[in-house]
Amino acid sequence: MDFGFGTIVLVILLAIAGYVIIAYNGLVRARQMVREAWSGIDVQLKRRADLIPNLIETVKGYAQHERAALKEVTELRTRAQGMPRDDVAGRAQVEGMLGQALGRLFAVAEAYPDLKANENFVQLQGSLEALEGEIQMSRRYYNGATRNLNIKVESFPSNLIANTFGFSQEEFFEIENAEDRAVPKVSFN
């Protein structure tokens, strides 16, 4: 059986076309995973933002002179909700600051025994703590999906397909402030 030059060229072209299709579909799948993961983070952040007004109102009744902490949480919540949905880095920064402000608010609450005993406050605090865990899981999932897409966009030869069809790297959802990432210091004095 004699395979001509034309047949060999056809087989090579079909193999290249097959690879392009497989690589393109892999990039589309990876991009959709990133979008799905971001949607998961967005849902968790929305749930947290929805709980904050109730927390603020509960704390206001007990800690009238702690206006600075209450104002900071309120302003950061408003800022976070106003962020563009696709601004991952900006959103991560504001959400990180909001998480810190909530932590400070809970620290302020420690000074008010009646507040700490308030059933509504305890329930809201528990809900927010559970949501923080879910946000962390969502961030890990998003960052994993982003890593997989970024690898495909950068790796040869799939980067040729990515560049041809306009695929680009996504930003990770990470904490920018090095102090926030540092291991807390524990003292037993």
Hey, what's the torsion of the CAs at 35, 40, 46, 47, to 10 degrees?
Answer: 170
- Percentage of the chain exceeding pLDDT 90: 43
- Residues 138 and 140: their CA atoms lie apart, in Å, by 5
Report yes or no: 45 and 132 within 8 Å, Cβ to Cβ. Answer: no
pTM score, whole prediction: 0.76
Higher pLDDT, 2 or 91: 91
Higher pLDDT, 83 or 146: 146
- CATH domain 5-169 topology: de novo design (two linked rop proteins) (1.20.1440)
Report yes or no: 23 and 158 within 8 Å, Cβ to Cβ. Answer: yes
Q: What is the pLDDT of residue 157?
A: 92
Q: What is the pLDDT of residue 15?
A: 94
Q: What is the pLDDT of residue 185?
A: 40
Q: In which band, very low, low, confident or very high, does the pLDDT at 161 lie, cut at 50, 70 and 90? A: very high
Of 1-5, 38-42, 59-63, the range with the highest mean pLDDT is 38-42
Q: Is the pLDDT of residue 179 over 80?
A: no
Q: What is the pLDDT of residue 122?
A: 84
CA distance readout (Å), 49 to 6, 22, 45, 140: 64, 40, 6, 20
Q: In which band, very low, low, confident or very high, does the pLDDT at 176 lie, cut at 50, 70 and 90? A: low
pLDDT, tens digit, 9 for 90 and up, residues 70-124: 888 889 999 988 988 888 888 889 988 998 888 888 887 788 888 777 888 888 8
Listed by start position, the domains of the chain span: 5-169
- Give mean pLDDT, residues 164-189: 65
Q: Count of CB atoms within 10 A of residue 95's CB? A: 24
Helix (H, G, I), strand (E, B) or coil at 118: coil
Q: Where are the beta strands (DSSP E) in the chain?
A: none
- Give mean pLDDT, residues 164-181: 77
